[in-house]
Amino acid sequence: MADRPLSPHLTIWKWGPHMLVSILHRVTGDGMAFLALPMLLWWLGALASGPEAYADFAEAATSPLGYVVLVGISWAFFNHMSSGIRHFVLDIGAGYEIETNKRWSIATTAIGVILTAAFWAAIVLL
């Protein structure tokens, strides 16, 4: 058998915020594909179907569970967007230093939360 190194296992890696952000990027992308897209299509279909269909959608969207889903979708969007910008910067070859990478990973998560809070504050206050 060849003397090639074995693939690293998760137990030898030290957990860090950069790993969490990478996982969240994938999860939020899937969440938007499997939850936000059907929600958008339901909204568009309700708009096209008339007042009764839109009233049904609005009732579901403004229920407590509907608000939880909508806030979750908006957080997924803002978190995925900020993480995507981080990945873009990494793709051009910057930000690979450990401390810089950790700082931007924490900032990415915080920016997602801050943008979600600002978005919903603007909706509620307007």
Residue whose structure tokens are 């997602």: 112
Cβ atoms within 10 Å of 6's Cβ, excluding its own: 5
Q: What angle do CA 97, 103, 25 make, to 5 degrees?
A: 95
Is there a contact between 95 and 50 (Cβ–Cβ < 8 Å)?
Answer: no
CA distance 1 to 3: 7
Residue whose structure tokens are 């074995």: 6
Determine the pLDDT at residue 51: 96
User: Within 13 Å of residue 48, how many CA atoms lie on the same side as its CB?
Assistant: 6
Determine the pLDDT at residue 95: 85
Supply the pTM of this predicted model: 0.86
Domain boundaries, the chain: 18-125
Fold of 18-125: 3 helical TM bundles of succinate and fumarate reductases (1.20.1300)
* 80 is an annotated ligand-binding site residue: yes
Q: What is the pLDDT along the chain (126 residues), one digit of tens a residue?
A: 567 666 666 667 778 898 899 999 999 999 999 999 999 999 999 999 999 999 999 999 999 999 999 999 999 999 999 999 999 999 998 988 989 999 999 999 999 999 999 999 999 998
Cα 58 to chain centroid distance, Å, stands at 24
